[in-house]
């Protein structure tokens, strides 16, 4: 039995003194590196800065065991765990912003949309209408979440991402396989094209310092900075 349902998803603008900055991109795009470099650069401007890892707290710790392949749950269960973790994290983010801190987060809700499309068991990977339906479904988990002042998409190729990940001295997570990176690259391209007003795209293949400079240039245009 099918029912036709329409709904609007509402995000809250950041009314607080601190700036809220999100970094998005495929694995290996430099999000964690840039988050730390931005923190250091903004602190030199006498800003108070907090860097948030996407998987903190007890729920986040459990999610990390799944990503590391130590625990197994269904793709749908993983998405609910991720949204629950982010709901708990919202309170911390809002408190920091109220206190006048800038908050930089490595991944936010757009990555949940991208990976949900990748993981959906019955979706036709060539049917963009199905991608949009899954995207709307996942975004509904984040109704009334705080919208970042700026969401940066660090754009790199899957080939570059794979080379970077291969050079890292760490165990690969379940999404860091080359085949999955290629698929998630295409999904992010679609997301940025479908919601262009929500992203500031930065070439992540540039030298690290140039990427940081470009991010800071955009951040400085934000009235809070």
User: Which residue range forms the structural domain that includes residue 169?
Assistant: 20-220
Element (H, E) at 92: helix 75-98
DSSP code, position 54: S
Strands (E), the chain: 20-24, 49-52, 102-106, 150-155, 200-203
Query: What's the mean pLDDT when you consider all of the chain?
Result: 84
Question: Hey, how many other C-beta atoms are within 10 angstroms of the C-beta on 175?
Answer: 17
Mean pLDDT of the region 70-80 = 84
1: in domain: no
The total of structural domains in the chain comes to 1
* 52 vs 116: which has the higher pLDDT: 52
Nearest 5°: CA angle at 67, between 79 and 171? 165
CATH code, 74: 3.40.50.300
Half-sphere exposure of 75 (CA within 13 A, CB side): 16
- The whole-angstrom separation of Cα 83 and Cα 205 is 30
Please report which confidence band the pLDDT of residue 87 belongs to, taking 50, 70 and 90 as the band edges. confident
Tell whether 206 is covered by a domain: yes
Q: 30-50: per-residue pLDDT in tens? A: 999 999 999 999 999 999 999
Supply the pLDDT for residue 145.
85
Distance of CA 55 to CAs 34, 83, 172, Å?
17, 10, 16
- Asked whether 116 and 60 are in contact (CB, 8 A), the reply is no
Is residue 152 included in any domain, yes or no? yes
Establish if 124 belongs to a structural domain. yes
Asked if the structure places residue 52 within a domain, the reply is yes
Is the CB of residue 219 less than 8 Å from the CB of residue 150? Answer: yes
- 225 assigned to some structural domain: no
Q: Is residue 12 part of a domain?
A: no
Percent of the chain with pLDDT over 90: 43
Structural domain contains residue 5 = no
Determine how many CB atoms are found less than 10 A away from the CB of residue 142: 21
The pLDDT value recorded for residue 7 is: 45
Query: The pTM is what?
Result: 0.85
């Amino acid at each position: 039995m099918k029912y036709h349902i329409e709904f609007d998803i509402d995000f809250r603008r950041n009314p607080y003194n601190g700036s809220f900055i999100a970094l998005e991109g495929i694995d290996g795009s430099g999000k964690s590196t840039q988050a730390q470099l931005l923190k250091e650069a903004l602190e030199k401007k006498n800003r108070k800065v907090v860097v948030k890892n996407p998987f903190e707290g007890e729920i986040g710790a459990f999610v990390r065991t799944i990503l590391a392949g130590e625990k197994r749950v269904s793709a749908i269960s993983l998405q609910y765990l991720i949204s629950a973790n982010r709901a708990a994290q919202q309170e911390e983010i809002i408190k920091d912003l109220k206190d006048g801190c800038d908050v930089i987060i490595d991944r936010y809700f757009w990555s949940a949309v991208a990976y949900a499309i990748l993981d959906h068991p019955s979706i036709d990977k060539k049917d963009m209408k199905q991608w949009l339906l899954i995207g709307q479904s996942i975004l509904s988990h984040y109704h009334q979440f705080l919208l970042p002042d700026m969401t940066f998409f660090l754009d790199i190729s899957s080939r570059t991402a794979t080379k970077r990940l291969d050079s890292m001295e760490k165990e690969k997570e379940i999404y860091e396989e080359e085949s999955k990176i290629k698929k998630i690259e295409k999904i992010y391209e679609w997301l940025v094209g479908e919601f262009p007003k929500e992203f500031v795209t930065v070439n992540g293949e540039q030298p690290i310092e140039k990427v940081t400079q470009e991010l800071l240039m955009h951040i400085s245009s934000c009235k809070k900075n």
